[in-house]
Each structure stands twice: as structure tokens, then as C-alpha cells.
Amino acid sequence: MTQVPLDFDHKEDQASKILRYLQTGKRLTSLEALKMFGCMRLGGRAYDLKKQGHNIVSEMIRLSNGKRVAEYRLEDDQ
């Protein structure tokens, strides 16, 4: 089994990538985050970014197959 160094913070690395993506004005669902960033808990990363002061908002959307999922975006401060 490979040991992960104690100072390794994969969560922050994912959060940084997700933030950069959202800063381009794009939106992101959990399935997209998994495919693009290997992130299995987009809600958790969004929470981390909110704690850092970023204005991350979520909205429930309906997919073409009828399923509802959360879609995250970065909202400009007004």
C-alpha cells in the first residue's frame, strides 16, 4: 500500500482546479466534476470554497433523462 505524505492535501488541489473552472463562467455538476477532476464530492469542495470566501451557489436542474442534480456556479458579488 502506498503511503500518502502527511502534508499532501488532494482536496485543496481539487478545490483549486474547480475554482479555476468556475471562474471562467462555466457551471459544474457532480458527474462533470468526477470526469474532469476526479472529484467524487463536489458538494464538499463547494463547501470548502465557500468557507474560503468564494460565492459558490448551487441550483437544482433537471437532466434530459428526467433526473435532478445540483449544478454549481460562481456568482459575482453585487
Structural domains of the chain, ranges and CATH numbers in brackets: 11-74 (1.10.10.10)
3-state helix, strand, coil in the chain (%, to 5): 40, 20, 40
Q: Which tens digit of pLDDT belongs to each residue from 5-63?
A: 444 455 558 899 999 999 999 999 999 999 999 999 999 999 999 999 999 999 999 99
- Residue 34, SS3? helix
- pTM, full prediction: 0.79
Distance between CA atoms of 53 and 47, rounded to whole angstroms? 10
